[in-house]
Amino acid sequence: MSAWEEVALRPATAGPAQARTRRRGLRAHLAILVVIALLPALAAIAIAVWRAGSAYHAASRYQLLASAQVMARAVESELAANVEVIATLAAPAARTDDATVPARAGLAQIAERFGGRLDLHAASAPAAPLPEPLRGAVAQAADEGRWVVSDLFEADGAVRLGVAVPYPDGDGRDVLALTARPEYLVRALRRAGSVPAQTLVAITDGQGRLIARSRDPDRAVGRTVPDWAALQAVGGAAGVFEARAVEGAPVIFGFRVLANTPGWVVVVGESRDAFDARWQGPLLGLVAGSALAILLALLLAIIAARWILRPVQALARRAEHVAGIRPDVVEPRELVSSVAEFEALRESLDRSESALRHQAEAERLNAAVLIASERRYRALAEAGALVLWRRAVSGAVTAVAGWQPLTGRPDAAAIGDGWLEQVHPEDLASVAQRWEQGRAARSPVDAEFRVRTADDRWLWVRARGVPVSGEDGEAEEWVGVLEDVDKRRQEQERLAHLALHDPLTGLPNRAQLADRMRVVIAGAADGRRGALLLLDLDGFKEVNDTHGHPTGDALLCLAAERLRALAGATDVIIRLGGDEFAIVRSHPHAGADDGRLAEAIIDSLGAPYELDGCRVVIGVSVGIAPIVRGDEDTSRLVREADGALYRAKAAGRGRYRVVEAAAGTSGGEATPGGHP
């Protein structure tokens, strides 16, 4: 115990009331003051942690929903493409002499392609009985005149899916009924690299049975998901829910109901631990930084107390010497005086010195608290990959922490308008607009943009900030965080690319055909002519059947490369599916050289291919529909180009036919072209 504390606790001679008073030591008072001073900061940290946790949690849920949306579009596109393949392959059968008796060989090829069987159910001659789900799909397809898929059912001792497609050139009531293996009809989840390893993606039918699954698909198909009721309880076409995977582990799922299906659902999920870790990890950093700052403040309080007590102890020794309590203590020489007047002055100076000393120590303590606060927020920035910033109402950044770990540039480089110099030029306008809107409405600001790092990379970041009001209610400054969202943006772009491009050739898929044609049609209204070319490879099926699917896939990739070499800068090449391609052209003189492009395509794709030591030769037929008016209908143009393609094939293949622009119908006159 210090000499000053001994004096404070020793019974005084002034009276019994003083003897009963117990005074606390300086360390206890400093500890209480530190706790009181930290209460506002602790409250602010608690609010920041709560808001950050809500934001991270909402961002994680949104990411699952966005992934489910992208995957749902991919599956919908694949279903539509497969149905188009069935209809396309069945079309030759529909053109036989007897339209009610299709070419069995052609239908057998369709069934083999999808790992099942294909039957024609004509209104005049019904086929053998079908499983209940497929029978309902056939009836619905006949009534509505469109393709219909069924839920899972048992057939021949295995799990199967059913597809009902109106039969081409029938009487309107004839339907093709396909019984297919689920993995042949829905292949999106089996493509290598299409689903991240840490993500669980599955497709269920309307009864909660698994159609496809990214993990262990062979054993999971046909099983009912454990918590189907949890998804149904959410309701709606999309949402997020927690359930158990087939293996029994808790998983957070985002789901999306597939269009044109009897309640099929795409779910994208990750384990509860991984989901929680993604949004709780930064919070743990915040909490750890806060705890470290509090411990540092208490340590500084203890150190400050010991430091302050040294002169106080000297004063106590001097007071004890003057009072005669401890005559053995030697008073400093400069304080020795036998003059009564000087002693009175000394006491007055002691009181003033004591007051000044306490004031100085209080200022030092406040400075220590401010330094600890700055270190705390800097630790938060470094631990949580966040940039903490303060911004004046004028827009200039006044303080920043964490800019260097994020961009590799000094924090000081972001002060003022320095950070704007690193914003991508394409994002400057939107960033300025968001800031002006938030400042005018005094509402939170939330913007995503790109910043340049020290190694000249562009990094996607998300800036969020809120106004801080003064006593008069007006905004005095803005505070917020800047977080790294680059990986999330890259993942979204990758999934979006998968939904709109053919995974084999890398070309745009059928989903982009209508959009691109509308752009060209709109340009035709201003005099920019265009054209639609439909291509069908001649002899590809024989190569595919003879040499196998891997050789056929390699042949399609080589054909796509040759098309890229021939297409113009404004031409868009699209793989429609199977061995069918389309080219949408748009330039002022497109009509003048469409025929020459078709001849070049016929020559190039007809040249021999070297595949695994084998010499392969195929051909191509082309149908051309010019686009000359701004009121063209996309469906009609496709039909006309398809009719021209059919006439080119009927004329001997390896040819092209052009639909005259003035014809206006699919039966218009065609211009012959190609090689005899």
Asked if the structure places residue 638 within a domain, the reply is yes
Query: Averaged over 596-624, what is the pLDDT?
Result: 93
Lowest mean pLDDT among 49-63, 222-236, 448-462: 49-63
* Separation CA 318–CA 330 (nearest Å): 8
How high is the pLDDT of residue 414?
Answer: 85
Which residue is it, tokens 């995503």? 448
Beta bridge partners of 463: 447, 482
CATH number at residue 465: 3.30.450.20
Exposed/middle/buried for 631, CB within 10 Å: 0-12, 13-18, 19+? exposed
Query: Averaged over 199-214, what is the pLDDT?
Result: 86
* Residue 49 near residue 36, CB atoms below 8 Å: no
Asked if the structure places residue 45 within a domain, the reply is no
User: CA geometry: angle at 25 spanning 24 and 26, to 5°?
Assistant: 125
* Separation CA 54–CA 465 (nearest Å): 15
Please say which residue of 468, 492, 516 terminates a domain: 492
Binned at pLDDT 50, 70 and 90, residue 218 comes out as: confident
**What is the per-residue burial (b if ≥16 Cβ within 10 Å, else e) of 158-196?**
ebbbbbbbbbbebeeebbbbbbbbbbbbbebbeeeebbe
Q: Are residues 531 and 647 in the same domain?
A: yes
Tokens of 299: 């340590």
Which residue is it, tokens 């943006």? 489
Beta bridge partners of 121: 175
Please say which residue of 431, 461, 492 terminates a domain: 492
How high is the pLDDT of residue 251?
Answer: 86
Asked if the structure places residue 611 within a domain, the reply is yes
Is residue 94 over pLDDT 60?
Answer: no
How high is the pLDDT of residue 217?
Answer: 76
Tokens of 51: 């808001």
Binned at pLDDT 50, 70 and 90, residue 671 comes out as: very low
How high is the pLDDT of residue 664?
Answer: 44
Asked if the structure places residue 403 within a domain, the reply is yes
Mean per-residue pLDDT over the chain, rounded:
79
Binned at pLDDT 50, 70 and 90, residue 2 comes out as: very low
How high is the pLDDT of residue 7?
Answer: 36
User: CA geometry: angle at 473 spanning 467 and 476, to 5°?
Assistant: 45
Asked if the structure places residue 135 within a domain, the reply is no
How high is the pLDDT of residue 99?
Answer: 45
* Residue 657 near residue 676, CB atoms below 8 Å: no
- Between 533 and 42, whose confidence is greater? 533
Asked if the structure places residue 476 within a domain, the reply is yes
Q: How far apart are the first and last CA of the chain?
A: 113
- What DSSP designation does 91 have? H
- What percentage of residues in the chain have a pLDDT greater than 70? 76
Please say which residue of 438, 463, 492 terminates a domain: 492
- Between 277 and 36, whose confidence is greater? 36
Lowest mean pLDDT among 14-23, 177-186, 291-300, 564-573: 14-23
Q: Are residues 414 and 485 in the same domain?
A: yes
How high is the pLDDT of residue 197?
Answer: 65
Q: Are residues 556 and 462 in the same domain?
A: no
CATH number at residue 623: 3.30.70.270
* Residue 658 near residue 626, CB atoms below 8 Å: yes
Count of domains observed in the chain = 2
Is residue 279 over pLDDT 80?
Answer: no
* Separation CA 460–CA 452 (nearest Å): 9
Binned at pLDDT 50, 70 and 90, residue 454 comes out as: confident
Is residue 233 over pLDDT 70?
Answer: yes
* Separation CA 618–CA 607 (nearest Å): 8
Nearest to 388 by CA among 441, 466, 452: 466
How high is the pLDDT of residue 223?
Answer: 86
- Between 650 and 275, whose confidence is greater? 650
Asked if the structure places residue 404 within a domain, the reply is yes
Instruction: Tell me whether strands 572-577 and 580-586 are parallel, antiparallel or unpaired.
Output: antiparallel
* Separation CA 585–CA 580 (nearest Å): 17
Containing 386, the helix (H) or strand (E) segment is strand 386-392
Q: What is the pTM of this model?
A: 0.39
Query: The domain containing residue 430 runs over which residues?
Result: 385-492
Q: Are residues 439 and 584 in the same domain?
A: no
Q: Are residues 551 and 644 in the same domain?
A: yes
Phi, psi for 98 (deg, rounded to 5): -105, 105
Lowest mean pLDDT among 121-135, 196-210, 535-549: 121-135
Q: Are residues 598 and 636 in the same domain?
A: yes
Q: Are residues 633 and 516 in the same domain?
A: yes
Query: Averaged over 28-42, what is the pLDDT?
Result: 74
Binned at pLDDT 50, 70 and 90, residue 4 comes out as: very low
Instruction: List, in order, residues 6 or more apart from 255 with CB less than 8 Å away.
Output: 68, 231, 234, 238, 239, 240, 241, 265, 266, 267, 268
The helix/strand/coil state of 79 is: helix
Instruction: Tell me whether strands 265-271 and 200-204 are parallel, antiparallel or unpaired.
Output: antiparallel
Is residue 668 over pLDDT 50?
Answer: no
Q: Are residues 487 and 536 in the same domain?
A: no
- What percentage of residues in the chain have a pLDDT greater than 90? 17
Per residue in 502-560, pLDDT tens?
A: 888 889 998 889 899 999 999 888 888 899 999 999 999 999 998 888 999 999 999 99
- Between 22 and 490, whose confidence is greater? 490
Containing 533, the helix (H) or strand (E) segment is strand 530-538
Is residue 80 over pLDDT 60?
Answer: yes
* Separation CA 512–CA 510 (nearest Å): 5
Instruction: List, in order, residues 6 or more apart from 269 with CB less than 8 Å away.
Output: 64, 199, 200, 201, 243, 245, 251, 252, 253, 254
Instruction: List, in order, residues 6 or more apart from 620 with CB less than 8 Å away.
Output: 535, 536, 537, 538, 601, 602, 605, 606, 654
Query: Averaged over 348-359, what is the pLDDT?
Result: 76
Which residue is it, tokens 């090829």? 109
Asked if the structure places residue 454 within a domain, the reply is yes
* Residue 66 near residue 499, CB atoms below 8 Å: no
Q: Alpha carbon 575 to chain centroid distance?
A: 26
User: CA geometry: angle at 451 spanning 450 and 454, to 5°?
Assistant: 145
Q: Cα–Cα distances in Å, from 83 out to 56, 345, 456?
A: 41, 105, 47
* Residue 606 near residue 622, CB atoms below 8 Å: no
* Separation CA 658–CA 650 (nearest Å): 14
* Separation CA 165–CA 102 (nearest Å): 14
Nearest to 413 by CA among 382, 452, 440: 452
Is residue 113 over pLDDT 60?
Answer: yes
Lowest mean pLDDT among 253-262, 385-394, 656-665: 656-665
How high is the pLDDT of residue 105?
Answer: 66
Containing 323, the helix (H) or strand (E) segment is helix 272-323
Q: Are residues 403 and 516 in the same domain?
A: no
Task: Estimate the share of the chain in helix, then strand, then coil, as percent rounded to the nearest 5.
Answer: 50, 20, 25
Per residue in 554-595, pLDDT tens?
A: 999 999 999 999 988 889 999 998 999 999 998 755 445 788
* Residue 266 near residue 258, CB atoms below 8 Å: yes
How high is the pLDDT of residue 1?
Answer: 47
Binned at pLDDT 50, 70 and 90, residue 613 comes out as: confident
Is residue 242 over pLDDT 50?
Answer: yes
Q: Beta-strand (E) ranges in 434-529?
A: 445-452, 458-469, 475-484
Q: Are residues 479 and 416 in the same domain?
A: yes
Q: Are residues 515 and 658 in the same domain?
A: yes
Lowest mean pLDDT among 167-171, 212-216, 378-382, 526-530: 378-382
Lowest mean pLDDT among 108-112, 238-242, 668-672: 668-672
Binned at pLDDT 50, 70 and 90, residue 25 comes out as: low
Q: Are residues 624 and 670 in the same domain?
A: yes
